[in-house]
Amino acid sequence: MKTRSLIFGAFLAAFCLVAPPVPGARQGKIVWSDQEKPIAQRIGTLRSLPDDVRSRTTRELALQIRQLSAGSHKLTLANALANLSTEGDFGRDTLQEVTTTLADALRENPVPEEKGQPAAPYVELAELVRYEHMRASSDSPEFSAAMAKLESDDERRQHVDFTLADLQGKSWTLSELRGKVVIVNFWATWCPPCRKEMPDLDALYARFKDQGLVVLAISDEDPGKVRPFIAERRIAYPILLDPGRKVNDLFQVEGIPKTFVYDRDGKMVAQSIDMRTKTQLLEMLARAGLK
């Protein structure tokens, strides 16, 4: 499965001089220019920074990338930064600068489709526009195709139903939870942003469960990995297992963490493309009537 964490891992691999993770780029070793190398190094350390410093650094990097010469390396850097910029809340102004930089890089260095689907950087840009409500100027047919793909995916998700068992063997069926507010969260033990948002999810579950909140956290991993991880962290909300990734595929999940919120009528009213802070999760729950 392609995940946001794996995309970042691919970027780090590119920094170590292997093939860059940009569709259509020539495969082989990548050599950063003197201008590009310090930017790549700073992107590689973003997750280690406090949120306020990370926000400021992300904005600075977006502006620096925009000044680079056109080329696949510029797009690699812009896409990697965009991938990391949604891991929480670093400010809308910062996210807009990142979005503008990615749109500019794609305009200068368009990339072909991947197996008949829009290339990953176009989907990244479309997600920023559709789900983060950023502004992007693009007359590219590939961008239009990415926006259409997201709209189609969301339409399918509105009608998804599933039954999965949790770690205790209890079965949960989404359609049987009408009357509840439901969070469906896709995650994995190895995913740093997933781990970062779990305490907030657990705190919100404790706060709202008596008001009808249900959290269903879905992992496609082996239960032997999931059980000790959950026990160590004392997570109280249900952890569901998705062997074979059937439910992941139903939801068109191509990156984790990913969260969907359903209101008491069973309508999907909010979703995220990455980890959310407690404040952001509260905003999502408010759309389902929980405050």
Tell me the per-residue pLDDT of 108-131, one tens digit each, with 9 for 90 and over. 999 999 888 999 999 999 999 999
CATH of span 163-286: 3.40.30.10
- Alpha carbon distance 171, 190 (integer Å): 25
pLDDT digits (tens, 9 = 90+) for 194-243: 999 999 999 999 999 999 999 999 999 999 999 999 999 999 999 999 99
Q: Which of 30, 81, 102, 194 is catalytic?
A: 194
pLDDT at 96: 98
**pLDDT computed for residue 21 by the predictor:** 47
Give the Cα separation of 159 and 162 in Å (integer).
10
Give the pLDDT score at 196. 95
pLDDT digits (tens, 9 = 90+) for 49-77: 999 999 999 999 999 999 999 988 999 99
Is the model's pTM score more than 0.85? yes
Where are the domain boundaries for CATH 3.40.30.10 in the chain?
163-286
Query: What pLDDT digit, counting tens, does each position of 276-286 carry?
Result: 999 999 999 99
Active site residue 16: no
pLDDT at 1 over 50: no
pLDDT value of residue 28: 52
The one-letter code for the residue type at 103 is: A
Average pLDDT, the chain: 90
On the question of pLDDT at 4 being above 80, the answer is no
pLDDT (0 to 100) of residue 267: 95
94 has pLDDT over 90: yes
pLDDT of residue 15: 47
Average pLDDT (19-31) is 51
